[in-house]
């Protein structure tokens, strides 16, 4: 690695500097850029070949000149100082404290790009995480160590949903299962923490996230990284990696169960596209770089559980689908890498239903591993299938009633129509501060299923109907 300084800046293109005449410079190597007025800025090597290095700035390029600018290569990658004292603190997208508190004294410094995990050392995710949101806990169960994204759209309340999950998420313990939702005191299966990273959000959204954590007391167990839209594009690319670096430290060295929430991955991908355009790379679909799948994988695959370690990382990336198009490259590639998706629906939102999570179109591929006796409750899996089937049938009947009229429906169809309306207003809909236990959600589910004739309940066991269905 080189420690030389160069005054051979050839050109400046957006956040990129082209430096000529360099030798022995490595990919991802940090560099210090000194302006003619003595001001210092930080960058990293984005591309290195014989006699040329492309440097990516972490700060704005305003004021930079090709003449008089010195680039010094530091011989190391971007390393971030981590400590357990980061819990309860708020940082910028570049990792600087912005809450008025002192700088963190790091226990160690770690490369923000992480290290590859041997697939053989991974443990399969199979422990339930309770979010307090019925449509997620019952129908799209979040599993400890899973990566489960939220697909949203412009104007939908994904910020509120992200804040609610961050406040309420907790690992369900054996005492919880045994008590069926009664108060059980402290968690016994480990410490729980949230790492929250916002990328390219507005100043109002950043304030909202900060206030939500502070006023509910959730900040004491959380680490926040806030990158606003006016911050440099390159900082937006580093923000999720900083968040995951802290999460890996807390999970694998301090035995925390960490939930990482990344919002908004669409802003992250737009930053990738902007940097790619500045490098004059051949664009892929819709102008995004061809390596976007690989880049997203380097973020999403940093979730999971490692054999022999008590901690875990569960990841919830949030993205807004341009024009609500699920085939857009960002949700499309995300769906390939992650284990399902939670999808927000615009029609539910227009009815005033929060959170507008639609059962159809949402999926948690690992939910079966965290449902059932010993995990939640014996009737959970059947309840999941039955509620989804009844609601899908109810939506079909509702569309039919618009065409033919409700008077043309038979008694069974009318029961499904009543179920669909009650399901939306009583099961899907809940308050922003409402934290339902999984057992509260299951009780609501059984109450709703009592609206449907018993002969139609083919996805739940008769023994469970007799045990849990409220008596009329």
pLDDT in tens, 398-448: 999 998 888 888 999 999 999 999 999 999 999 999 999 999 999 999 999
Fold of 5-76: Elongation Factor Tu (Ef-tu); domain 3 (2.40.30)
Confidence (pLDDT) at 184:
41
Domain ranges across the chain: 5-76, 81-368, 380-468
Q: Which two tokens stand for residue 342?
A: 């939670």
Cβ-contact 307, 121 below 8 angstroms: yes
Confidence (pLDDT) at 188:
45
From the candidate CATH numbers 1.10.340.70, 3.40.50.12240, 1.20.1050.10, 3.40.1440.10, the one assigned to the domain spanning 81-368: 3.40.50.12240
Strand (E) positions, 310-404? 312-320, 340-343, 363-364
Low-confidence ranges of the chain (pLDDT < 50): 1-2, 182-189
User: pTM to 2 decimals?
Assistant: 0.88
Confidence (pLDDT) at 187:
47
Confidence (pLDDT) at 183:
46
Confidence (pLDDT) at 351:
94
């Amino acid at each position: 690695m080189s420690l030389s300084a160069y005054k051979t800046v050839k050109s400046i293109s957006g956040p990129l500097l082209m430096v000529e005449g360099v030798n022995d410079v490595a990919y991802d190597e940090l560099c210090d850029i000194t302006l003619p007025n003595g001001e210092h800025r930080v960058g990293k090597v984005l591309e290195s070949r014989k006699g040329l290095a492309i440097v990516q700035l972490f700060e704005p390029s305003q004021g930079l000149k090709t003449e008089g600018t010195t680039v010094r290569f530091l011989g190391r990658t971007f390393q971030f100082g981590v400590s357990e004292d980061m819990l309860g603190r708020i940082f910028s997208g570049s990792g600087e404290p912005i809450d008025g508190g002192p700088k963190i004294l790091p226990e160690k410094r770690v490369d923000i790009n992480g290290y590859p995990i041997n697939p053989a050392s991974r443990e399969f995710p199979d422990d339930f995480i309770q979010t307090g949101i019925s449509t997620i806990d019952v129908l799209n169960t979040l599993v400890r160590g899973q990566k489960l994204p939220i697909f949203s759209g412009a104007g939908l309340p994904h910020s509120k949903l992200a804040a609610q999950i961050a406040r309420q998420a907790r690992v369900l313990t054996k005492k919880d299962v045994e008590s069926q939702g009664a108060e059980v005191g402290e968690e016994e299966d480990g410490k729980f923490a949230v790492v929250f990273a916002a990328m390219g959000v507005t100043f109002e959204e950043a304030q909202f996230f900060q206030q939500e954590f502070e006023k509910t007391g959730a900040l004491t167990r959380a680490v926040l990284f806030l990158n606003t839209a006016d911050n440099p594009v390159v900082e937006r690319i580093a923000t999720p990696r900083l968040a995951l670096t802290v999460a890996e430290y807390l999970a694998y060295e301090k035995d925390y169960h960490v939930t990482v929430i990344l919002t908004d991955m669409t802003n992250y991908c737009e930053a990738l596209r902007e940097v790619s355009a500045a490098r004059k790379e051949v664009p892929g679909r819709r102008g995004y770089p061809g390596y976007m799948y690989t880049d997203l994988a380097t973020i999403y695959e940093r979730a999971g559980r490692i054999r022999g370690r008590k901690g875990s990382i569960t990841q919830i990336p949030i993205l807004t689908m341009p024009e609500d198009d699920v085939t857009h490259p960002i949700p499309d590639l995300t769906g390939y890498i992650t284990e399902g998706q939670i999808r927000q629906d615009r029609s539910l939102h227009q009815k005033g239903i929060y959170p507008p999570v639609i059962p159809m179109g949402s999926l948690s591929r690992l939910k079966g591993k965290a449902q059932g006796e010993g995990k939640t409750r014996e009737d959970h899996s059947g309840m999941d299938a039955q509620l989804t089937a009844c609601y899908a049938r109810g939506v079909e009947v509702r569309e039919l009633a618009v065409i033919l009229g409700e008077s043309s429906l038979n008694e069974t169809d009318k029961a499904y129509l009543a179920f669909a309306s009650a399901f939306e207003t009583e099961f899907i809909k809940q308050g922003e501060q409402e934290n339902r236990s999984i057992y509260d959600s299951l009780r609501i589910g059984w109450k709703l299923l009592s609206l449907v004739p018993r002969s139609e309940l083919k996805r739940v066991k008769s023994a469970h109907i007799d045990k849990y269905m409220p008596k009329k």
